[in-house]
């Protein structure tokens, strides 16, 4: 059973909502829960949420913060701040896989000649 919430913040991000909650253990110490809640719409128009939760305890804060910072810095250094995805850009074209691009024909040099007599 979860303990009382002490302090909370919410981050709304499209279909996802992130809840950051400080809670108290039975011994009176604090820990953090991070919950991702994602909204899904059913075919009939009704909806439901899927939730994933992380429990983060004080003894892990330093290393968790260090790795989170390292990973987010790496992503920004490699790809910048701009969001690049088919969900966020209507004219997004995936460069790696020509067959997945509906309006773009693959280059002819990307095919391999096959001799069916060998099969």
Checking if the pLDDT of 111 tops 80, the result is no
Q: What is the rounded average pLDDT of the residues 7-35?
A: 94
Q: If DSSP states are collapsed to H, E and C, what string results for 57-113? A: EHHHHHHHHHHHHHHHHHHHHHHCCCCCCCCCCCCCCCCCCHHHCCCCCCCHHHCCC
- 83 CB-near residues (< 8 Å, 6+ apart): 89
Residue 4: band (very low, low, confident or very high) from pLDDT cuts 50, 70, 90 = low
pLDDT tens per residue, range 37-87: 998 888 898 988 899 999 999 999 999 999 999 999 999 999 999 887 766
Cα–Cα distances (Å) from 65 to 8, 31, 57, 59, 100, in that order, read: 18, 14, 12, 11, 37
pLDDT on residue 90 = 59
| pLDDT over 70, % of the chain | 67
User: Considering only the top CATH level, what class is 5-88?
Assistant: alpha beta
The answer to whether residue 100 scores a pLDDT higher than 60 is: no
Residues whose CB falls within 8 Å of the CB of residue 100, separated by 6 or more in sequence, listed in order: 94
Domain boundary assignment for the chain: 5-88
């Amino acid at each position: 059973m979860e303990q009382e919430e002490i302090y909370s913040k919410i981050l709304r991000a499209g279909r996802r909502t992130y809840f950051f909650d400080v809670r108290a253990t039975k011994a009176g110490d604090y820990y953090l829960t991070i919950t991702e809640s994602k909204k899904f719409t059913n075919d009939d128009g009704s909806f439901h949420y899927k939730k994933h939760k992380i429990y983060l305890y004080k003894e892990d804060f330093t290393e968790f913060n260090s790795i989170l910072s390292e990973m987010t810095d790496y992503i920004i250094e490699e790809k910048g701040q701009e969001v690049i995805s088919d969900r966020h850009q209507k004219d997004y074209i995936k460069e790696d896989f020509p067959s997945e691009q509906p309006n773009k024909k693959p280059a002819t040099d990307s095919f391999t000649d096959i001799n069916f007599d060998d099969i």
